[in-house]
Amino acid sequence: VRTCSIELAALRTAEAWVAERRTAWERRLDRLGDFLAEQTNKPDQESTQ
């Protein structure tokens, strides 16, 4: 019973890590969208010279 319980705790923690990792990527990809939108709104500095 004890071994089973410890493994269950480790599993729950790993599940939390996976959820956190996914959330971290989602935040990054949202910021990538913001970054691309800012680039689009700003005139391209090199080509406007």
Partner 1 sequence: VSTTEKSTSERSTVHSTFVIERTYAAIPERVFAAWSDQAAKAQWFGPGEKHAESYSLDFREGGREHLSVPTPDGAVYSFDAVYADIVPAQRIVHTYDMHRDDARISVSVATIEFEAVGDTTRLTLTEQGVFLDGLDTPAEREHGTNAMLDALGTHLQGSVPD
Q: Which residues bind partner 1 (CB under 8 A)?
A: 3, 5-18, 21-22, 25-26, 28-37, 39-40
Return contacts of 21-28, CB within 8 angstroms, 24+ apart: none
- Alpha-carbon distance 49 to 37, whole Å? 21
Q: Is 16 helix (H, G, I), strand (E, B) or coil?
A: helix
Taking the least distance from each CB to partner 1, the nearer of 39 and 49 is 39
Alpha-carbon distance of 27 to 33, in angstroms, equals 10
The nearer residue to partner 1, 22 or 48, going by C-beta atoms, is: 22
- Give whichever of 40 and 49 is closer to partner 1, judged by the CB atom: 40
Smallest gap from Cβ 49 to partner 1, in A, equals 19
